[in-house]
Structure 1
Amino acid sequence: MAPFNDTKTTSGILADTGGDPAPEPAGRATAPKAAWRMLLPSPTPWLVIGLGLILGIALFGLLAPLFVQDPNAISNIGLSSPGAEHLLGTTQTGQDVLAQLAYATRGSLQIGLIVGVLATALSAFFGIYGAYLGGFADESFSLLSNVFLVIPGLPLVIVISGFVPRESRGLWTIAVVLALTSWAASARVLRAQTLSVRNRDYVQASKVSGERAWRVIVVEILPNLLPVLASQFVFAVIAAILGEAGLSFLGLGASSSSTLGTMLYFAQNGFALPLGAWWWFLPPGLMIALFGMGLSLVNFSIDEIINPKLKSVREARKLSRAAARAAGAQPRKAAAR
């Protein structure tokens, strides 16, 4: 496995008078970072906000259905505004919007997770395994990826979903359709990364020692691609939730399950916007937007690992700010004396 540079100190800054590293300040011992910590993004405000949004929405989708009423229960108080009895109001047929939002969030999270796992697995197989084997297998997988890239994604999803009978369009059906149409671009990125890794010395040494192909990929190549895989997984989840919402808005979504997209679909058919029932369509749309923003903020933080220059720039800014504060503190101490 490629050795990680597990030290991150300021001693790598060259002195002005020569090429030797500048000496460490006295009394400041820098402990080496563990290898696994090098795979984690730096704790930034954007990362904290993103993780907070994701965790909050995930907990709402997991726990809220346990405390709300039946989302399909019909009452005689249709299109009532938010109040004490119904915190987010009711639909045109008197169904509780909060209960529908809880179950719809869980359904959308399930689709996003399933598509993220399936799309990442497909892209890893066709991108990493094909590039490692090379030859005819690599050319075949690359051709298949190019074919899926050439075909427009949204029309292909609409055509495939249109051929699936309405009674068979559940969560898994929509998830499989979205996964089959969203893996090609990630596979191309992973193929390029694998081609640059497979010829390194430690990979060649594993081959010469007689290691099996799957072990070389899992132990030697895959750890170097984990940040890229994580970024692609996050992007796949975002694309899946937005894609499902688009399909459901067109009437091609999961007919037997409740998702945020189906909420928007029924709100449109119920003329929620012309009737001014903002509490019917605004919560699911806001939930999609907040969850997508949280995943995007996490993805931006993962970019620091994929592109080390971003982390270097951030750490250089921290050092400069710390130096400025230290320089400003010295005159204040002298004045106090």
Structure 2
Amino acid sequence: MTNVSPTTQPTAADDADVLAAENARRGGTPPRSSWRLLVPTMTPWLALGLIIVGAIALFGIIGPFLVGDPNAIRDAGLTGPTGEHPLGTTQTGQDVLAQLAHATRGSLIIGLIVGVLATALSAVFGILGAYLGGFADEAFSLLSNVFLVIPGLPLVIVISGFVPRESRGLWTIAVVLAVTGWAASARVLRAQTLSIRNRDYVAAARVAGEKPWRVITVEILPNLLPVLASQFVFAVIAAILGEAGLSFIGLGASNSSTLGTMLFYAQNGFALPLGAWWWFGPPGLIIALFGMGLSLINFSIDEIINPKLKNVRLHRKRARQALRLERRKAVR
């Protein structure tokens, strides 16, 4: 298996080298990482994404403490929004707002667990394998290719189907989604690591007798943090959507409340034919808004990884400023 050729597009590591050369020209000490590249310029899209994600996360964290019991059964079944029940009730009289708060927390927990596990697996198989090279790189690449060839959704369905229903909790579903969703990110990290490991500061660390784990964590990993952050955000989005899909077909967490299980019970309760939009609408809207917010954040992170995108945005900003200046001169 041949190695992936180094990318020719500017990366975070390239920007780090430029900063190091500039500091060296001025007589300073070249930086050992690109931590400053993790601080993006605030843009309207990034601000909107942070507001959406922050509001939903706050609702999922604090909301369950402010609402009642989501499993409490009342006589008023399938009623629309009222003052007592702002989002109405289910077919058995359960408060939809209370269910939505607990379900949002469950989906956020699954997304966080899958994001951490999938990012960790992709870092181990992508960064470590590419740095070690040889048999380790070939074995890790072969394993990544196997997971990439197998269709993701059918594999998740098969694995979830073999897990007993009473054992399918949040952690079980999270592990299944993480195991089946790390391969693509590992390939990207491998290509980036192959490009970075041949740079001068990495070679200098090797010559100085640095241990491999220190070279990876101090010299290579900081330059890959923007890529890891982008992959983490993508993994969270994929996890929440994947869990919702599994729950909708009855293979989700059986002993936990998530946005997917809300949609599952709404489907079984014939919410759509009965016109009970308040039952299936809010969880679907939360999933859509959270995915949109994370996508906006992910697009902003792309500007850190690819300086060309940042330059395009700066050119557009300068063009708008020049256009406004010309209009002011024309008015005068």
Q: Same fold (TM over 0.5)?
A: yes
Contact 2:115 2:236 in 1 (8 A): yes
> Could you say which residue in structure 1 is the equivalent of 2:106?
107
- How far apart, CA to CA, are the structure 1 residues paired with 2:80 and 2:271? 12
Q: Trace 1:121-200 onto structure 2 (pairs within 5 A).
A: 121-200=120-199
Partners in 1 of 2:317 and 2:128 — Cα distance?
Answer: 40
Read off the aligned partner of 1:133 and give its amino acid letter. L
What does residue 264 of structure 1 align with?
263
Q: Secondary structure at the match of 2:273?
A: helix
What is the DSSP-based 3-state SS (H/G/I as helix, E as strand, rest coil) of the residue aligned with 2:272?
helix
Counterparts in 2 of 1:33-72, with a 5 A limit? 36-72=35-71
Amino acid in the other structure paired with 1:118: L
Partner secondary structure for residue 189 of structure 1:
helix
Describe how 1:84-123 pairs up with structure 2 within 5 A: 84-123=83-122
Alpha-carbon offset, residue 321 of structure 1: 2.6
| TM-score (norm. length: structure 2) | 0.89
Deviation at 1:331, TM superposition (A): 5.9
Equivalent in the alignment of 1:240: 239
How big is each residue's C-alpha offset from its partner over 1:282-303, in whole Å with a ceiling of 9 and x where there is no partner? Answer: 0000000000000001111111
RMSD: 1.7
Instruction: Answer whether contact 2:126 2:188 (CA < 8 A) is retained.
Output: yes
Aligned to 2:30: none
Kept in 2, the 8 Å contact 1:6–1:38? The answer is: no
SS of aligned partner of 1:272:
coil
User: Any residues of structure 2 matched to 1:14-25 within 5 Å, and which?
Assistant: none
Cα deviation, residue 155, structure 1: 0.7
Deviation at 1:270, TM superposition (A): 0.5
Tell me, in whole angstroms, the C-alpha distance in 2 between the residues paired with 1:326 and 1:81.
53
Could you say which residue in structure 2 is the equivalent of 1:274? 273
Partners in 2 of 1:181 and 1:242 — Cα distance? 14
Q: CA deviation at 1:325?
A: 3.3
Summarize the Cα distance change of 1:4–1:319 in structure 2 as closer, same or farther, 3 Å threshold: farther
Shift of 1:50: 0.6
Kept in 1: contact 2:262–2:280 (CA 8 A): yes
CA distance in structure 2 between the aligned counterparts of 1:107 and 1:170, rounded to whole angstroms: 10
Tell me, which stretches of 5 or more residues in structure 1 are unaligned? 8-33
**Cα 1:136–1:224, aligned 2, differ >3 Å: closer, same or farther?**
same
Kept in 1, the 8 Å contact 2:259–2:283? The answer is: yes
Q: Is the 8 A contact 1:41 1:302 kept in 2?
A: yes
Amino acid at match of 1:64: G
**1:328 CA drift (Å):** 4.3
**1:329 Cα shift?**
4.1
Tell me, yes or no, if the aligned pair for 1:53 and 1:291 is still in contact at 8 Å: yes
> 1:184 and 1:217 mapped to 2: Cα distance?
20
Aligned equivalents of 2:239 and 2:34: distance in 1? 32
Q: Normalising by structure 1, what TM-score?
A: 0.88
2:239 is the counterpart of 1:215: no
- Tell me how far apart the structure 2 counterparts of residues 327 and 93 of structure 1 sit (CA, whole Å): 65
Q: Deviations over 1:65-95 (max 9, x none)?
A: 0010000000111001100010000000000
CA gap 1:114/1:174 in 2 versus in 1, 3 angstroms: same
Aligned length: 307
Quote the Cα distance in structure 1 between the aligned partners of 2:80 and 2:289. 23
Work out the percentage of aligned pairs sharing the same amino acid: 77
